[in-house]
Structure 1
C-alpha cells in the first residue's frame, strides 16, 4: 500500500544500514512497537476502513428511504441534511485544518529528542549534541503527519455523520412500536459502529503500543489493566452513543403514546368481554357502554405486550461486539506483555460481556 510504504518503508531505507539491526537491539527501527503500530497497522487500517465506513453508512442511510422511515413532510429536510453532511465531509477547509494539526503533531512528537541519552533510529547522541537522523526527519514531516491526518479526518467524518443522525432524529419518522426489531424500526442503526471496527483497531493499536512501551519500565496489576481497558472502551462507546442517543427521545415518545392508546383500547376490549361473560361490568356500569359488542373491538393485548418490550436505546452489547473487540484486542496484547494470559483473557471477557 502506498501510504504504508511512504510512512514505514521509506524511513526504513533512509536508516540503512542501522535499520536492519535485530529487532531486540535497543533503539532499533524494526523493534519499535510504536513504529509498527502507527505506520503499518494504524495507517493501513485507516485506509482500508475508509471504503468500509462509506459503504456501511451508505447502506444505513438508504434504509431510511427504503423502509420508508421518513414521513412525506420530512423528505425535503432529510435531503437537505444529507446534502449538507456530504459537503461538510468533503470540506477542503476541514481537511486543511486536519493537515495543519497533523504537521504540528509531527513536530511535537520529536520535540524532546534533545533529552535522549542513548542513540536510536530517531536520534544520534554525541558530545556535540543530539541530532535527528534522516529517518526521524522523514517521520516529522511525512509519517507522523500522515498518521495524524488520517486519524483526524476519520474523526471529523464521523462527527459529520453523528450530526446528520441527530438531525434525522429530529424529523418526523414513520416509526411503529410493534416492529419486530424491538426498536420501532430503527434497530438497523445499532450496528453502524461496526463499520468503524478497522478504524478503531488502528487507533487502539497505536494506544496499545504506547502502553506496552510504558510497561517496559513500569509494573502492572490486573486492576490497573482493567481500568485502562475499561476506560478506553467507555471512550469508544461514547463516540458512537452520541449520535444514537438522539433517537432515544422519539422512541421514548413512541412507546409512551402507543402504550396509552393501546391501554385505552385494552380497557374497552376487556370490559366488553367482561360484559359478554358476566352480563355486566363489575364496576362503573354504564348503559352507553353496555351497547358495545366485544366483536366490534380488536384485542390489543399482543400489541401492548410487544410495545412494552420496545427499547429506546439503540446502543446494545450484541450489536457492537465487533467494534468493542477491535478496541480491546490491541490493549489486551499490550497487557499480555506483563500479565499472565489468563488474567488478560479474563478482563477481556468481562468487558465484552458487560
Structure 2
C-alpha cells in the first residue's frame, strides 16, 4: 500500500528520558529498552549496597524488613522497561495490521495518520515527563514531611532502611523517587494508548462480521494487550514486597492482604481489559448487520438448494457425492455460527487468565507467612501416609 510506511512510525515510547538514554548508548532505535531499565536498577541498587557496607549494616541489608527496596530496584524497574520493549513491537504491529487488512478503509487513513501524528507528538513532548517529575518531587516532599511528623506507618515507606544513615538517604532521595517517576511515566503512556484507541473506535472502521478471529478483524488487539503482563507483574510484585515488609515487622497482619489483593487484581484487569471495550458498540452494530445480511443470503441459498435437490424433477437421480453444494451449505452455516458467537469485545478468557496469573503469582510467597513450607510438607506427607 502506498504510503504504508507512515503507519509503521506509531509508538508510545520516547520522550526526554529515551533521548538521554540514546545519547548514552543505552537505547537505540529498533532495539530493546530493557538495557536501560537494567542499568538504572543495578546502578541505583549497587550504590545503595555500597553505602550499606560502608555503614557496616550489610547484614541487615538482606532482611525481609527491606525487601521492597530490592524488589523496586532489581525487579520492578527492569520489568517496566521490559514491558515497554515487548509492548512497543505489538502495538505497532496492531496499527500496521488494521491498515493492511482494511479494517481502517482508505477514506479513513488520513484521520488515522492524524491520530498517529498526535500520539507521537505527545509521546516526544517534554511537558508530560516534566509533570511526572514534578509530581514525583511533590510526592517525595509530602511523604518526607508526613514521616517526620509521624503520620505514616514506618514499613509502608521503608522504615527499616531509613535506619541506615547514608543508604537510607540515598534510597529516600534517589531510588524511591526514581521508581515513582517511572510509574508516573507509565501512567502517561497508558493514557496515551487509551486515548488512541478511543479515537480509533470513533473512525469509520470496516469490520468484517464473519471474520475468523470472531472480533470483526480486531482480534490482534487481544494479543497486543497480553504484553501488558510485565507491567501487571511489576505492580503486583511491588505490592507483595511491601506487605512482606509490614508483616515481617509486625506492623500488619497476614489477613490484611486479602482486600488489597482484590483491589490490585481489579485494577490490573481494568488496565488490560477496559481499552478493548471502546470497540463494543461498533462490534455490536457489526454483528447485527452481519446477522441481517447473512440471514438474507442464507435464505436465498437454502431456497435455491431446496429447489435444486428436493423439489426439481429428476433431482433424486443426480449424484450427491462430489457436489460442492453440500459443502457450501455447511460453510454458510459455519459463517452464521461465527456471527452468533462473535465477541462484542476483542477479549477472551485466555487474556483474563494471563492477567490474573501475572497479578496473583507474586502474591504467592506471602502465604509462607501463614503456612510455613516445613509445616506444609509435613502435613502433605502425613495425609499421603494416612497418619
- TM-score range for the pair, normalised by the shorter chain length: 0.7 to 0.9
Quickly say closer, same or farther: Cα 1:261–1:231, change in 2 above 3 A: same
Equivalent residues of 1:225, 1:335 under 8 A apart: no
Does 1:122 find its partner at 2:162? yes
What is the CA distance between 1:210 and its match in structure 2? 1.5
Q: Distance in 1 between matches of 2:40 and 2:103?
A: 40
- Looking at secondary structure, tell me which structure has more helix per residue: 2
Does 1:257 find its partner at 2:286? no
In the alignment, what sits opposite 2:358? 326
What is the CA distance between 1:23 and its match in structure 2? 5.0
Quickly say closer, same or farther: Cα 1:252–1:339, change in 2 above 3 A: farther
What is the CA distance between 1:77 and its match in structure 2? 0.3
Does 1:56 find its partner at 2:90? yes
What is the CA distance between 1:89 and its match in structure 2? 1.7
Equivalent residues of 1:71, 1:174 under 8 A apart: yes
Quickly say closer, same or farther: Cα 1:109–1:34, change in 2 above 3 A: farther
Deviations 1:114-172 (A, max 9, x none): 647xx954147xxxxxxxx2323322331111101111111211210111112112212
Q: Distance in 2 between matches of 1:339 and 1:171?
A: 53
Quickly say closer, same or farther: Cα 1:68–1:47, change in 2 above 3 A: same
Does 1:197 find its partner at 2:235? no
Q: Distance in 2 between matches of 1:230 and 1:50?
A: 26
Q: Distance in 2 between matches of 1:301 and 1:252?
A: 20
Which residue of 303, 308, 333 corresponds with 2:340? 308
Quickly say closer, same or farther: Cα 1:187–1:120, change in 2 above 3 A: closer
Quickly say closer, same or farther: Cα 1:120–1:148, change in 2 above 3 A: closer
What is the CA distance between 1:225 and its match in structure 2? 5.1
In the alignment, what sits opposite 2:174? 142
Equivalent positions of 1:210-249 (< 5 A) are 210-216=242-248, 217=250, 218-221=252-255, 227-249=259-281
In the alignment, what sits opposite 1:4? 41
Quickly say closer, same or farther: Cα 1:120–1:171, change in 2 above 3 A: closer
Unaligned runs of 5+ in 2: 1-37, 313-324, 377-387
Which residue of 29, 39, 55 corresponds with 1:17? 55
Deviations 1:274-295 (A, max 9, x none): 556358xxxxxxxxxxxxxxx9
What is the CA distance between 1:339 and its match in structure 2? 4.0
Equivalent positions of 1:166-205 (< 5 A) are 166-205=198-237
Which aligned segments of 4 or more residues in structure 1 are displaced greater than 6 angstroms? none
Unaligned runs of 5+ in 1: 125-132, 280-294, 345-354
Equivalent residues of 1:193, 1:320 under 8 A apart: no
Equivalent residues of 2:273, 2:347 under 8 A apart: yes
Q: Distance in 1 between matches of 2:287 and 2:264?
A: 33
Equivalent residues of 2:55, 2:166 under 8 A apart: no
Q: Distance in 1 between matches of 2:87 and 2:44?
A: 23
Relative to the length of structure 2, the TM-score reads 0.72
In the alignment, what sits opposite 1:350? none
In the alignment, what sits opposite 1:352? none
Quickly say closer, same or farther: Cα 1:2–1:100, change in 2 above 3 A: same
Give me the CA root mean square deviation: 2.8
Quickly say closer, same or farther: Cα 1:66–1:273, change in 2 above 3 A: closer
Paired residues, number: 310
What is the CA distance between 1:340 and its match in structure 2? 6.2
Q: Distance in 2 between matches of 1:307 and 1:121?
A: 58
Quickly say closer, same or farther: Cα 1:328–1:120, change in 2 above 3 A: closer
Which residue of 149, 154, 157 corresponds with 2:186? 154
Does 1:41 find its partner at 2:81? no
